Structure 1
């Protein structure tokens, strides 16, 4: 399930790639963002972005759980519950910051993609996932993801 186009990699100590996300990182628990770390940031990276997205949500474009932009290129991770020092874009609930998995009961496992993007430009604004893709998709040098599963 892990995707890496070249050298960029992302992982979490909270769950293995393709493993179950612990309840404390969900809407049923403490709703605390998991620790994330990445490596292999390519040369020329000017900023990093992180997005958590559930493509299995019963909505046309899935459901967004977290959008972080403006992360300096030399940062290699986000601590559990961290990320507040960066730009927090809108999540699917209409707020900002991390909101953990809370899929409809009985719908089976949903996949939660934690994406890291290495960008060739600085990003100094809070964005929705769609705005990020539309405005900065062309500036992505590399991307990678890790996937966690959750169901109720």
Structure 2
């Protein structure tokens, strides 16, 4: 079998980056981000990103637990229509913050809700920023997350992410 790719073509270096002082990449999700049932404050983490792809006109944010025992993971946060000149979000973003739009998450609430996994193996929480080629996704505030996710994933220019873990033991 032969490879039809040109020999001297290299992939561009990816520089788009996402960080949080509340949840450093590869760490354990902090108490502030956990739901209150686990002794947390249920605050969305601060996020900052840099070096977005050329052509970015807005950003979207997602937080996803691929290890939830649902067969399709668990969506903790989907937010979009963040203007292109914004490169950070503060700790504890309000559910009704007018500077962006937020979806109904898998808890049934608009905005961010933190980890609350069942006891057992650790769960991964993937925080992502998505660079969008449009100023608005055309999805209304408070929509179900699936519509916003479809708009995000079907047209994003690129994304940056980090993963943190959390485990409940009993």
CA–CA distance in 1 between the matches of 2:59 and 2:133?
9
> Normalising by structure 2, what TM-score?
0.80
What does residue 117 of structure 1 align with? 130
Out of 67, 70, 81, which is 1:56 matched to? 67
Structure 2 gap segments, 5+ residues each: 1-12
CA–CA distance in 2 between the matches of 1:34 and 1:135?
23
Which has the larger strand fraction?
1
Structure 1 gap segments, 5+ residues each: none
1:45 counterpart SS class: coil
Runs of 4+ in 1 over 4 A off after TM superposition: none
Matched, 1:38 2:46: no
Q: CA deviation at 1:131?
A: 1.9
What does residue 10 of structure 2 align with? none
CA–CA distance in 2 between the matches of 1:22 and 1:133?
26
Aligned partners of 2:43 and 2:112 also within 8 Å:
yes
CA–CA distance in 1 between the matches of 2:26 and 2:133?
29
Q: CA deviation at 1:124?
A: 4.1
> Normalising by structure 1, what TM-score?
0.89
1:11-90 correspondence runs (5 A): 11-27=19-35, 28=38, 29-82=40-93, 84-85=97-98, 86-90=100-104
Aligned length: 147
Query: Whose Rg is larger?
Result: 2
Aligned partners of 2:78 and 2:149 also within 8 Å:
no
**CA deviation string 1:100-119 (max 9, x = no partner):** 000002x2210000010001
2:15 counterpart SS class: coil
What does residue 108 of structure 1 align with? 121
Q: CA deviation at 1:132?
A: 2.8
Higher RCO, 1 vs 2 (CA within 8 Å, ≥6 residues apart): 1
CA–CA distance in 2 between the matches of 1:124 and 1:37?
24
What does residue 112 of structure 2 align with? 98
CA–CA distance in 2 between the matches of 1:64 and 1:101?
10
